[in-house]
Structure 1
Amino acid sequence: MSKTFYTTLIFLLLAGRVSFSQVADTYYLLKADQFYDAEKNTFVKNQEILIKNNLVVEVGSQLSPPPNTVVLDFGNATISPGLIDTHSHILLEQKIDESLAVDAMMVSSETRVLRAAKFARSYLEAGFTTIRDLGNSGQYLDLEVRNAINSGYISGPRMLVSGPIIGSMDGQIFGLPMADFDRISKQEYSMVSGVEEAKKAVREHIARGVDVIKILAIGNRLVLGLEEMKAIVDMAHSERVTVTAHCDRDWAAHNAIEAGVDGIEHAYGFKTATLEKMADRGIYVVPTYGSTETIRRYYELQNEPYTEEELQENASHWKKWILELKAAGLSIVAGSDAYFDMEIPRGGIGQTSHLGICGFRTVS
């Protein structure tokens, strides 16, 4: 069992949860009936976990903790590594029947940050210890939430954030009058035209303190050009920052692949040749496909009748795509793309998305 692996994780207590203090040199010894070893995909009995402040320092049986260690015995609970959602949007909430623009237009930055604090806590309570937040978060509001968590002002998982998504001049918001489109799009995105603007946007993002750069391989209609994408990737990589690309159409992915992005988000129905090219380049994919439970919740919110057969049929394309990703040899990373108001805790939406990606219900 690798100690290095576990030092990156805070553990989810499936039968009870505990919040760890960040006071220096405080030790906790966790005991429970079972311990899930994620590296070996097996459950281990009679294991203990020694935590110093917020880091795991030792895992084993009959450990010898320092004096004054707080012992937390959870009886027949199971201790498991925390979940990770690599595609979240905790500064955004969209009603099922609303446009993407409504939240940005009608909700103040202050309210969005306060609401995000609630969403962040719900992720933690659902067992997520890390989330990667990928835009639709105003002008760097995601950094405010991340920094508040890191400072101990609010409770939440570790956050890796992108700041405003870098894209072409049309962004992702449509259907607005021109004056409103210009104002809201500039609030939510970094829209660039040309190589120099693309480089400047990356410099600004890194100077502000983002953890990852996210680009729009395609927005509503316009694509970033190959040279613009190359400039973004080269600039980010020179500062040891990775780049991931929103891309939901196969034909639009090829410039992103050629530009050398590290990851692609969504990848809906990509052709086999495209997937194999991504695998050859070492590009990971975050499918964001959801699960039958996602569809079930949608039906319930709309008060529409459904059968279990209909749920499976509606999710069949996700199952097909997941199997194609696996067959191509791609690195598949779980991400929910949760931003709709499903009238359940945001962390719960992340859990249902993981069902589909990891193989439960929709994938055999």
Structure 2
Amino acid sequence: MSPHKEEPPVPWSTDTDVQPTKYNGRPRNVDAIDAIRYAENLQPPQYDIYGTHEDSKILFLDVNILDSTGAEPYPGDVLVEGEKFVAVGNVPNVDALCSDPKVRVVHGRGRTLMSGLGDAHTHFTWNGGDLDRLGDLGVEEHTLLTMRSAQCFLDSGYTMCFGAASAKKRLDVVIRDAINAGDIPGPRYLANGQEMARTDGELVGGITAFADGPDEMRQVIREHVELGVDNIKLSMSGEEVGR
């Protein structure tokens, strides 16, 4: 057995002129994400969502473009036709587009234009309300609160959200379907049902689906699937730690 060799400590630099190397390539995690493959029966449905008319044209002029590729922001123009970006940075025939009455022109004046944000842990039905009283909130008032929450996310730049639990059984599903139909404003959304926990493991009263043991868990999950949820939320050890 060879003797243990201690490595000398790395010297701590106090040179304030040392700058980290900037990375301008594509995001480093793209290949790993693209390589992930899920079973078809585990894929969420491909929802059709009411959106911009296919003949729509929107031209953004003089914007600072953050294109989410890992590159530094850069100045330019952006043209959107229907739901597709057809030109980013350099837009051909800008003068003709600006004079076309069918083209909506947005003057950025140097403001940043970026990709929509995504939230991987969203509670539309919890935000903006009194958490301890969510279980007592009437379904009508709760629906209005959830609609306002969905619009707040969209207005804040979030265009896709992953539901992490719904305070009422079908509320996430109903809001998702209303967004997809164009009835209310909101981001693309994968809906959840009530979080599932063992008896006495709820965070607050009235917002939890209880399941003790594997048989009850299967039954509760089946009920959620029948409601049309995309995700399920398991709180295996209860929510006491969240208090």
TM-score by length of 2: 0.66
- 2:166, 2:192 within 8 Å by CA — same for their partners in 1? no
Q: How many residues of Structure 1 are paired with residues of Structure 2 in the alignment?
A: 190
Residue in structure 2 matching 1:212, options 231, 234, 237 = 231
Cα distance in structure 1, aligned partners of 2:68 and 2:52 = 26
Letter of the 1:61 counterpart: N
1:189 aligns with 2:208: yes
Classify the secondary structure of the residue corresponding to 1:212.
coil
> Which one of the candidate residues 42, 46, 59 is aligned to 2:88?
59
Task: Supply the AA of the counterpart residue of 2:85.
Answer: V
Q: Determine the structure 1 residue equivalent to 2:13.
A: none
Relative to its length, the structure with more helix (as a share) is 1
Q: Secondary structure at the match of 1:87?
A: strand
The answer to whether 1:80 aligns with 2:114 is: yes
SS at match of 2:120: strand
- Checking the alignment, whether the CA contact within 8 Å between 1:32 and 1:79 is kept in structure 2 is no
Which of 71, 89, 108 is equivalent to 2:105? 71
Amino acid at match of 2:52: Q
CA contact (8 A) 1:91 1:137 kept: yes
* Contact residue 167 and residue 218 of structure 1 kept, 8 A: yes
* 3-state SS in 1 of match to 2:162: strand
* Counterpart code for 1:163: G
Q: Which residue of 2 aligns with 1:38?
A: 68
TM-score under structure 1 length normalisation:
0.46
CA–CA separation in structure 2 for the residues paired with 1:207 and 1:51: 37
Change beyond 3 A, Cα 1:46–1:145 = same
CA distance in 2 between counterparts of 1:196 and 1:25 reads 52
Task: Give a deviation string over 1:307-345, Cα, whole Å, max 9, x none.
Answer: xxxxxxxxxxxxxxxxxxxxxxxxxxxxxxxxxxxxxxx
Q: Secondary structure at the match of 1:144?
A: helix
Counterparts of 2:111 and 2:58, CA distance in 1: 17
Once residues 57 and 200 of structure 2 are traced to their aligned partners in structure 1, the CA distance between those partners, rounded to angstroms, is 52
Amino acid at match of 1:91: T
* CA shift for structure 1 position 220: 4.0
Which residue in 2 is equivalent to 1:129?
159
Aligned residue in 1 for 2:177: 147
CA distance, structure 1, for counterparts of residue 76 and residue 199 of structure 2: 58
Show CA shifts across 1:17-72 (max 9, x none): xxx963343232322331012222411222423241x4435434124699844333
State the SS of the aligned residue for 2:202. coil
Secondary structure at 1:206's aligned position in 2?
helix
2:6 corresponds to: none
Secondary structure of residue in 2 paired with 1:42: coil
| Identity fraction in percent | 24
Structure 2, unaligned runs of 5 or more: 1-24, 31-49
